[in-house]
Amino acid sequence: MNILVSSVIEPEHVSQLAERFPKHSFTHLENNEAVPANIASIEVFLRCGIPRAQQEILITQAVNLKWIHTCSAGFDYLPLALIERRGLTLTRSAQTNNVPIAEYVLAHILSFSKRLPEFASAQAQRTWQRRQDLNELVGKTVGIIGAGSISQALAERCKALGMRVIATKRNYEPLSNFDEIIPLAQLDLLLAQSDFVVIACPLTSETRGMIGAAELDHMKREAYLINVARGPIVVTDALVEKLNTGEIAGAALDVFDEEPLPEDSPLWETPNLMLTPHISYVSPHVMPRILEEFAANLERYSRGEPLLNKIKNSSLGY
């Protein structure tokens, strides 16, 4: 079969796939804007970093396409309506980002607890500024919105540091390393209990704008918000207001409504806010994991077996 591979995947990785699957042909996009000459023969598409508009062009012209695997943990970057109309199989990289994103969140939790941003600011001003408001993580509660694989990796690490871990989940089930699972309909209970609120759920019609002024009002004044999911889950204006008035202690954002973040965004100058440019997943180990998950599914696909990590509900987008 013919397999289309995004240009952001390095040639050496394409060569590794070709060596592992010598019976298949791999077409490596020269750049993500190109349409290969053999597009009509493509059966499988390994998608990474291609804008939605170009995906629609490729998918429309790939008349024999059967299966798309996305490198992302979520499906919101894909043209789901087109994919559903075509009846295509859609899978994702479910385990690739767990470790770097869990470590990223934990870095912020520790940074906030030990007041590292304030000390960095004092250092920049050559100020010897001792503080007495540092804290410990033992006994603190981290509330995670969404209890997927990234959240489970984070929960394991937080429990090792003596923290209490709670989470929301659409369908209740007990999970290891979580002290309590709370229905999403009772999100306010999680917000009220948490010292650190971590957003790690997919962006769907249900979660878009889910964290607004009313939800932030439920948080403790000394609590922190960390978003590693998608920007539109949080109402930006509401968060800016709460940080400006000190109604929550701080926040860390790795995702935004618009990326790159515009120069005139109020987020740049909002107090007690840490910004990073959507890099929480970055690690030299991510691409090998993506390729391994794809290769494992390609073996299943070649044998006619059910694929792993398929989209569960296309209407909700996850």
- pLDDT (tens digit, 9 = 90+) per residue, 40-52? 999 999 999 999 9
> In the CATH hierarchy, which fold is given to the domain comprising 2-96+284-302?
Rossmann fold (3.40.50)
Q: Is the pLDDT of residue 316 over 70?
A: no
pLDDT reported for residue 178: 97
Contacts 24+ apart (CB under 8 A), 132-136: none
DSSP letters spanning 27-96: EE-SSTT---TTGGGEEEEEE-S--HHHHHHHHHH-TT--EEEESSSSSTTS-HHHHHHHT-EEEE--SS
pLDDT reported for residue 318: 74
Find the mean pLDDT for residues 188-208.
96
Q: Is 227 helix (H, G, I), strand (E, B) or coil?
A: strand
Query: 65: phi > 0 → left, psi -120 to 50 → alpha, else beta; which?
Result: beta
Find the mean pLDDT for residues 226-255.
98
Where residue 232 falls among pLDDT bands split at 50, 70, 90?
very high
Where residue 31 falls among pLDDT bands split at 50, 70, 90?
confident
pLDDT reported for residue 109: 98
pLDDT reported for residue 34: 83
pLDDT exceeding 90 applies to what percent of the chain? 93
**Strand locations in the chain (E):** 2-5, 25-28, 42-47, 67-70, 89-92, 141-145, 164-169, 180-183, 196-199, 224-227, 250-253, 273-275
Six-digit token string for 78: 């894909």
Q: Is 30 a residue of the active site?
A: no
User: Please, are residues 35 and 62 in contact by the beta-carbon 8 Å criterion?
Assistant: no
What are the residues facing 274 on neighbouring strands? Answer: 252
Find the mean pLDDT for residues 294-315.
93
Q: Is 24 a residue of the active site?
A: no
What is residue 211's DSSP assignment? B
> Catalytic residue among 13, 170, 208, 278, which?
278
User: Please, are residues 141 and 195 in contact by the beta-carbon 8 Å criterion?
Assistant: yes
> Catalytic residue among 92, 157, 164, 230, which?
230
The CATH number of the domain covering residues in 98-275? 3.40.50.720
Q: What are the Cα distances from residue 228, in Å, to 81, 117, 262? A: 25, 19, 19
Span 174-194, pLDDT tens digits: 899 999 999 999 999 999 999
CA proximity to 257, closest of 267, 249, 243, 247: 267
pLDDT reported for residue 106: 98
Q: Is 230 a residue of the active site?
A: yes
Is the pLDDT higher at 238 or at 171? 238
What are the residues facing 181 on neighbouring strands? Answer: 167
Span 105-143, pLDDT tens digits: 999 999 999 999 999 999 999 999 999 999 999 999 999
Count of other CB atoms within 10 angstroms of residue 95: 17
Find the mean pLDDT for residues 209-217.
98
CA distance 167 to 184: 9
Q: What is the residue extent of each domain of the chain?
A: 2-96+284-302, 98-275
What is residue 146's DSSP assignment? -
> Catalytic residue among 10, 33, 259, 299, which?
259
Considering the entire predicted model, what is its pTM?
A: 0.95
Where residue 32 falls among pLDDT bands split at 50, 70, 90?
low
Where residue 62 falls among pLDDT bands split at 50, 70, 90?
very high
pLDDT reported for residue 315: 65
pLDDT reported for residue 33: 72
User: Please, are residues 248 and 221 in contact by the beta-carbon 8 Å criterion?
Assistant: yes
